[in-house]
A = this chain, B = another copy of it.
Amino acid sequence: MAITVVGSVAFDSIETPAGRRDRCLGGAATYFSLAASQFTKVRVIAVVGEDFGASEQSVFDARGIDTQGIERAEGKSFFWEGSYLDNLNEAKTRATELNVFGAFQPKIPDAYRDSEFLFLANIDPVLQKRVREAMPAAKLVAGDTMNYWITGHRDALKQVLKGLDILLINDTETRMLAGNANLVKAARGVLEMGPRMLVVKHGEYGATAFYGTSNNGFGAKTFRAPALPLEEVVDPTGAGDSFAGGFFGYLASQKELTPGVFRRAMFYGSVMGSFAVERFGTERLQQLSRKEVDERFEMFRELTHLD
């Protein structure tokens, strides 16, 4: 099944202990699409400026991603500059220039409207809600958000959460959203806001899915996928979006959404996140075969399974 994703397509300047890259292609929708395209057809809704040229377009084309929903506007694309020199787990933002993204009004091509899978990447919850409502055929809707929306746009975000099947956020965002320092209690609090499943991304420690009603006294059913202990993290940018792309892409590729499919989706999420950080920007995701993906999936199984 095709996924439609709405989110940012951007240029990033990134500095990490491994070096520096200027204006590489980035943005949540870009990482998500490249990761999900390993599994299924992906359609993107975004806005870019005049600096988005043929070489950027070719990155999407090479992976067969449908970009008719990427609007070309006058001006420059969203630009972000960040540094991981102090802490590989958390970027220090040096500059954010919204540019054409500041006035983004998602336009949905007619050809996208039959998408049964919809991913609302981290953008203004008002826009997330609008896209969700404009895509009534979507049967499974997942989304992301961030501290900025949690603290400053809580009411709009809560409207989005009511219509979400799956929310993917990190530990800090989970605690912040629920106002509870205990992750399990916070997860239950988030599930009460609407999503049927919460996937908490732990960075180098993997991710935990909370869903349904507990049968073991722990408030919700849980499933934990590992991350690969990595010798070299070149650039952590986009790891969470790549996780989301692997997770949701795998779900969309399956005929039936069984509990086993959700478990494997968690592993594929971790797999795609582990590739994303191996090189700067989306470099690694651009050069990635399905064979490599499945080999790493098996490595993750071996890393965690008893037999």
Interface pair B184/A231, CB less than 8 Å apart? yes
Complex alpha-carbon distance, A219 and B182, angstroms: 34
Minimal Cβ-Cβ distance residue in B for A214:
B231
Chain B residues with CB under 8 Å of A223's CB are 303-304
Partner of A264, one of B187, B226, B230, B306: B306
Taking the nearest CB of chain B, how far is it from the CB of A276, in angstroms? 17
Could you tell me if A230 and B184 are in contact, using CB atoms closer than 8 angstroms? Answer: yes
Closest to A184 in B: B231
Contacts of A303 in B (CB 8 A): 222-224
B229 touches A304 (CB 8 A): no
Q: Which of A99-107, A135-143, A144-152, A202-210 contacts B (4 or more CB under 8 A)?
A: A202-210
Please state if A222 and B229 are interface contacts (CB–CB under 8 Å).
Answer: yes
* CB interface residues, A 207-237, toward B, < 8 Å: 208, 210, 216-219, 222-226, 228-233
Q: Are B260 and A307 in contact (CB under 8 A)?
A: yes
How distant is the Cα of A291 from the Cα of B264 in the complex, in angstroms?
30
Supposing A218-B228, A228-B218, A304-B224 touch, asked if A183 and B204 sit within 8 A by C-beta, the answer is yes
Judge if A301 is at the interface, Cβ distance under 8 Å. Answer: yes
| In contact, A231 and B306 (Cβ under 8 angstroms) | no
Tallying the copies of this chain within the complex gives 2
Q: Tell me the chain A residues, 142-200 only, with Cβ under 8 Å from chain B.
A: 181-185, 187
B residues in contact with A182, CB < 8 Å: 230-233
A232 to B185, CA, bound (A): 8
A181 to B231 Cα, complex, angstroms: 11
Q: Does A299 contact B (CB under 8 A)?
A: yes
A183 to B148, CA, bound (A): 31
Q: Is the CB of B305 within 8 A of A184?
A: no
Asked whether, in the complex, the Cβ of A216 is within 8 Å of the Cβ of B299, the reply is: yes
* A231/B185 in contact, CB under 8 A: yes
The answer to whether B260 and A306 touch across the interface, beta carbons within 8 angstroms, is yes
| Bound CA–CA A88/B223 (angstroms) | 23
Give the nearest-CB partner of A210 in chain B: B229
B229 adjacent to A184 (CB under 8 Å): yes
Q: Does A267 contact B (CB under 8 A)?
A: yes
A263 contacts B by Cβ under 8 Å: yes
Question: Interface on A for B, CB 8 Å cutoff?
Answer: 88, 181-185, 187, 202, 204-206, 208, 210, 216-219, 222-226, 228-233, 260, 263-264, 267, 299, 301, 303-307
* 7 pairs of A and B residues whose beta carbons are closest in the complex: A205-B205, A184-B231, A224-B226, A184-B229, A263-B306, A304-B304, A224-B303
